[in-house]
Chains A and B, each alone.
Chain A
Amino acid sequence: MSDVDVDVKNLFKKIGVDEPAYQELRRESRTDQARERWPLLNSLQAEEEAAPVKQAKRSAKKSELSRLFKSLEGGKAPPKEEAEPLPREAAVGPFRKLPEAGAPNPFNRLFEPQPPPRNFWQSMFDKLKKS
């Protein structure tokens, strides 16, 4: 740890900020710097924070997404309010268009009971089974 770090740490101590909180601040600033170097990392974060649900939590830096990450830890189900689907704005990539709450997930439909297979499939399967 550099002299500056020690000084800053002592200063925080004087004003009543404890060691873990100080370390947490250092960590946050490192993470922010890492994001700021790369526009995409930064905009993914910005997009996440733009979701209205999270505004209230901004000061605690506990974004919806990181709560979701933590909630999945060890497979424990999160408390009720955390179990809501990701806000649509936070989702990117192939799942960007998340269904409204309660609506079936598009991926799910793949696995729902299918109508009886068309003859084509059945005959193909039988044919391959025999060969």
Chain B
Amino acid sequence: MTVIAVISMKGGVGKTTVTSNLSATLTRFGQRVLVIDLDPQNALRLHCGIPVHETGGIGRDTLQGVSWENLDFRSPGGVQVLPFGVVSDEECMVIERHLVEHPGWLGDNLANLGLDEDIVILLDTPPGPSVYLQQALSIADIVLVVLLTDAGSYAVLPATETLLKHYGAFRRGFLGSYYVLNQVDASRTLSRDVMEVVRHDLGARLMPFPIHRDEAVSESLAYQKPVLDYDRYAQASQDFEQFAKWLIQKLKDKTA
């Protein structure tokens, strides 16, 4: 299996959107994908078309001390989903304490699932440093950092790099960390300029297909569908297709 962590220093940049849409597009291309929500917000399930009344998830299972193998959620498009689950604030603190004491929590639970080698796991994470991010980075083969093309996102690049450097970026077998620009609006000078500067600074570590700001993305969420199913001709649908192809190539390079 290949583990891909989707992270960002700033909130609301589109991690959950990227995780859900990328997983749906990869699945469309025949890749077997499991997505895991490591954010107590528990929003990923909504992006993946899981019914709102479902409360189960890895957070709940952790509290009850049971393995994750009975969690059987699947998006209509065929993505396997492990939601975080509905937990109270108090329960959330207990879970986080447990994670601090068990740094191998994520790796051990995944090993328990006995997944096939060809499965790709996408991890959605909360913004900024957290115990969840630490767990994700400690096992990730690839890290995708989501950025907006604004000055705020650019300002946190050094902090992001420092974080990556400290947590696992040089583990044996680590395939690399890449930046993904989201909500790019080419009609805005600032968006274009930040893109230019980031391209200059990051070189090959910038995923070469920026995801445009596209109303179809937010509309598709309101329909609980990936954008590709909501409007396959939308700009964002095409962006996610290119993104998925780029990633599949990276995975092929890995096995070669």
Residues of A within 8 A of B (CB): 27-28, 30-31, 34-35, 37-38, 40-41, 44, 48, 65-66, 68-70, 72-77, 85-86, 90-96, 98, 105, 107-108, 110-111, 114, 117, 121, 124-125, 128-129
Contacts and interface: CB of A to CB of B under 8 A. Distances in A.
A contact face: mostly helix, strand, loop, or mixed? helix
Contact of B194 (A41, A95, A108, A121): A41
A94 B98 CA distance: 25
A75 B176 CA distance: 4
A86 B158 contact: yes
Contact of A37 (B91, B129, B193, B203): B193
Contacts, number: 130
B159 A69 contact: no
A72 B205 contact: yes
Given A73-B203, A74-B176, A114 B158 contact: no
Contacts of B162: 85-86, 91, 95, 98
Contacts of B113: none
22 contacts: A34-B197, A38-B151, A41-B193, A44-B154, A65-B161, A65-B201, A69-B202, A70-B203, A72-B177, A75-B177, A86-B161, A90-B158, A91-B159, A92-B156, A92-B159, A94-B9, A94-B159, A95-B163, A96-B159, A107-B166, A107-B167, A125-B63
A70 B91 CA distance: 41
Q: Which of B91, B162, B196 has the largest count of A CB atoms less than 10 A from its CB?
A: B162
A29 B111 CA distance: 50
Contacts of A34: 192-194, 196-197
Contacts of B103: 111
Interface of B: 9, 63-65, 90-91, 94, 97-98, 100-101, 103, 128-129, 131, 134, 151, 154-159, 161-167, 169-171, 174-177, 189-190, 192-194, 196-197, 200-205
B176 A128 contact: no
B94 A125 contact: yes
A124 to B, nearest CB: 6
